């Protein structure tokens, strides 16, 4: 029984490859994806392992506490389970190249409603609706495949005179942008509750309200399928300095500036021999007090991939009560 909860936000700073093994399509090493939606994700086991490795590097002398929180090492896995449960890191905002404004952060009704459901289940109460009373965002979701929702001061719009809708070009696709005042409320909620707080992110926090776009479901899914980064890699023969036989492959990455989130749940300690941390709140506070700054996810760490900025929010920090 889980007795405490939090959300871990992950802001991708360098392209992220959480791989799913060899692929059968055009990309040799694709990223992990949800089976039904096709959205990219980082599976819970990958995230938990990376989180444990990060905590271990920060607290190398607290092995017993780490075993209580995450569970014993493989050779003692039958002793007891860990008290911390991580969910999959799901997609919330996906950056897409724009004709103007460099790029837009895109999302969809499906992605937002899933986030809302996960946040409420974790003890949060997203209140970005008008006056905090309405359903999150406006009910006027995009109804046509060519429509998109933006705030009135969106920087990605093509300048035109006259009334709305206004042109919006993402990659090679054009949309009719409709303004939605409640979108600014949601962007401001993300700035306050999900984006990194650090000073170096001031520019990005200011940019989000004017760069947020809600797309139709199919368009958003297509961008997450086809607008990821695909990088060709080689291994050179040390003697000839040419590509070694069979050492040419392609890898898929989540692009920089993607925003992911993962619900985190905790129970009381399952190892009664260790006094602290013991209850669920102590488990979560142990992680929070580490003040995680950045961590590596996925592969290719030695070539600078998978660096993410973290923000760990306890449910009580936002809602004031459970």
Domain boundaries, the chain: 4-319
Distance CA 283, CA 81 (A): 13
Query: How far does CA 299 lie from the centroid of its chain?
Result: 16
Give the tens place of pLDDT for each residue, 227-276.
999 998 888 878 787 778 778 889 999 999 999 999 999 988 877 776 66
Q: Is the pLDDT of residue 182 over 90?
A: no
**What number is the average pLDDT over the span 173-196?**
92
**What number is the average pLDDT over the span 134-150?**
80
Bridge-based pairing of strands 229-236 and 243-253 is antiparallel
**311 DSSP β-pair partners:** 9
Distance CA 5, CA 123 (A): 7
Instruction: Give 135 or 161, the one with higher predicted confidence.
Output: 161
Q: Is the pLDDT of residue 282 over 90?
A: no
Q: Residue 305: left (phi > 0), alpha (psi -120 to 50), or beta?
A: beta
* 248 Cβ contact list (under 8 Å, min separation 6): 232, 233, 234
Q: What is the pTM of this model?
A: 0.91
Give backbone dihedrals phi and psi of 280, rounded to 5 degrees, phi first. -60, -40
Query: How far does CA 260 lie from the centroid of its chain?
Result: 1
Count each helix (H run) and each strand (E run) in the chain, helices first: 8, 13
pLDDT of residue 321: 34
Q: Is the pLDDT of residue 41 over 60?
A: yes
Distance CA 259, CA 252 (A): 17
**233 DSSP β-pair partners:** 249
């Amino acid at each position: 029984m889980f007795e405490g909860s939090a959300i871990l936000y992950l802001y991708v700073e360098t392209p992220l490859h959480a791989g799913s093994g060899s692929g059968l399509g055009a990309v040799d090493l694709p990223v992990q994806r949800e089976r039904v939606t096709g959205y990219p994700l980082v599976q819970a086991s990958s995230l938990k392992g990376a989180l444990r490795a990060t905590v271990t590097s920060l607290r190398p002398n607290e092995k017993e506490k780490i075993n209580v929180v995450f569970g014993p090492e493989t050779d003692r896995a039958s002793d007891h389970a860990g008290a911390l449960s991580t969910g999959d890191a799901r997609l919330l905002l996906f950056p897409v190249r724009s004709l103007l404004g460099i790029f837009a952060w895109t999302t969809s009704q499906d992605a937002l409603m899933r986030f809302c459901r996960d946040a409420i289940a974790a003890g949060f109460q997203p209140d970005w609706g008008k006056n905090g009373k309405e359903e999150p965002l406006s009910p006027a979701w995009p109804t046509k495949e060519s429509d998109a929702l933006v705030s009135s001061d969106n920087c990605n719009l093509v300048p035109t005179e006259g009334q709305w809708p206004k042109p919006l070009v993402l990659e090679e696709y054009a949309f009719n942008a409709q303004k939605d005042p409640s979108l600014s409320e949601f962007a401001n909620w993300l700035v306050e509750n999900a984006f990194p707080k650090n000073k170096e992110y001031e520019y990005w926090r200011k940019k989000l309200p004017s760069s947020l776009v809600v797309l139709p479901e199919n368009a958003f899914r297509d961008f997450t399928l086809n607008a990821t980064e695909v990088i060709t890699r080689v291994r050179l023969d040390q003697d000839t300095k040419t590509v070694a036989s069979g050492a040419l492959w392609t890898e898929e990455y989540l692009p920089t500036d993607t925003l992911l989130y993962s619900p985190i749940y905790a129970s009381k300690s399952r190892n009664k021999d260790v006094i602290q941390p013991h209850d669920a709140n102590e488990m979560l506070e142990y992680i929070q007090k580490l003040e995680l700054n950045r961590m590596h996810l996925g592969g290719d760490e030695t070539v600078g991939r998978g660096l993410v900025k973290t923000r760990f929010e306890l449910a009580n920090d936002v809602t004031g009560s459970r």
